[in-house]
Amino acid sequence: MLTKPSIPAKKRKLMRQFILLGMLGFLALTAFLVLKAFEKNIIFFVTPSDLQERVLTGNEKFRLGGLVTEGSVLKSEDSLKVTFLVTDGGGFIPVSFEGILPDLFREGQGVVVEGVLLESGIFQANQVLAKHDENYMPAEVAEALKRNGQWRGEDDPSFP
């Protein structure tokens, strides 16, 4: 009878360790590549107060959220260009947008705009997302509004 030569226990243990290390290395490489791919698609979110404290590099795309300031909306007569101010109660950022605004967009309501901050200090938006009340705002904006006394949510007695 022929028997299969057995692998010594030390060699089997060493082989298992190499296989385990190889699998961990593969998993780490996969995680790195996935995170690297997402890096270009991550869009940061800031409030006007945060933006005044933060230094941004040119053409960094991000989202700005807050309330549309009362009396600040200016619509162009001959184009779809609109300018308005966004505030969180602590700071104001002028926003310029060219396009069709959402139906829920109006002064005093929550808004999230996506775009870039120009060197002139104007936020050039390429997308405007209007919210019908502060309950549906991102948590960062809601917290900033609460800190600055601008929150009109469920816990506010003046909330409809």
Q: DSSP labels for 65-88? A: EEEEPTT--EE-SSSSEEEEEEE-
Q: What's the pTM?
A: 0.60
Give the closest residue to 92 by CA, choosing from 75, 67, 115, 113. Answer: 67
Per-residue model confidence as pLDDT tens for the chain (160 residues): 566 667 788 888 888 999 999 999 999 999 999 888 877 666 677 888 887 777 666 677 888 888 888 899 999 888 889 999 998 888 888 999 999 888 888 888 888 999 988 888 889 999 998 865 545 556 666 676 677 666 555 554 444 3
Q: List all residues 6 or more positions away from 72 whose beta carbon is below 8 Å from its beta carbon.
A: 83, 84, 85, 107
C-alpha dihedral, 149 to 154 to 159 to 160, nearest 10°: 160
117 neighbors 56 (Cβ within 8 angstroms):
yes
Give the closest residue to 140 by CA, choosing from 23, 50, 19, 26. Answer: 50
